[in-house]
Amino acid sequence: MNILEKITLKLSIEKRFFLEQRMGWKTPADQYNIPKFLLRKFLPADPVIIDCGACDGTDSIELARIFPHASIHSFEPVPQVFNALTRNTRKYRNVHCYQMALSNATGKANMHISSGASYGSSSLLAPKTHLNDHPTVFFENTIEVNTITLDDWADSQHLSRVDFLWLDMQGFEYEMLRASNRIIDTIKAIHTEVSVKETYEQVKLYPAFRQWAEEKGFRVFREAVPDGTDMGNVLFVRG
């Protein structure tokens, strides 16, 4: 890719971000996408945000740009991907990176590492129908990663509140959330990936996940779960 092509690509990305995510003037082309500008309705100007399963930092960066006064905490346990996260977010002083996974227990756990067509499908759950639905994504290795519960992490940071969760944990979102007995009550909104089939072993499917969220005081504000898909995204808001 020559310099002109790089500039053209960057301008295209900036245009899409401005129109779809920052201003909401254009519906996202990605049918799995829920625009981030919607979060302004529910969050303060200086929110405490967690991006779990932060991957290469794309969402953390967009959240940092939309909420420049936010404190953003990005979790990515896979070493190679974590390196990309820290590299990509290094100029954003309000993004703090952690090489660990939020989980339902503090300690260590095995993570199933994805490769092939996606390096962003790694999970604390073993893959199941994902192997058939996404045959170009492979899970050939597992590694041991550090884990921490949301409550334990908040205590370690002396935080009394978290305003927003952006979760892309490949099926482990429910287990992590269910283990939070304190911070969950301070959260104003949750953007989370949901499963409509058993993509990973023992994953909590969307109807049961939604019922739990509603029992905790959240309601569905926006769904992006295309027909015929195995997973999608949902924005839950408090009240």
* CATH 3.40.50.150 given to domain 19-102+150-238: yes
**pLDDT digit string (tens) for the chain, length 239 residues:** 676 665 666 668 788 877 888 888 888 888 999 999 999 999 999 999 999 999 999 999 999 999 999 999 999 999 999 999 999 999 999 999 999 999 999 999 999 999 999 999 999 999 999 999 999 999 999 999 999 999 999 999 999 999 999 999 999 999 999 999 999 999 999 999 999 999 999 999 999 999 999 999 999 999 999 999 999 999 999 98
User: Which stretches of 67-146 are DSSP H helices?
Assistant: 79-88, 130-133
DSSP-derived secondary structure letter, 18: I
Q: Is the dihedral of CA 21, 82, 116, 101 positive or negative?
A: negative
Distance CA 141, CA 53 (A): 18
Rounded to the nearest 10 degrees, what angle do helices 58-66 and 79-88 cross at?
30
Tally of CB atoms within 10 A around 104: 17
pTM of the full structure: 0.94
CB within 8 Å of 63: residues ≥ 6 apart: 36, 39, 49, 51, 70, 72, 166
Residue ranges covered by each domain of the chain: 19-102+150-238
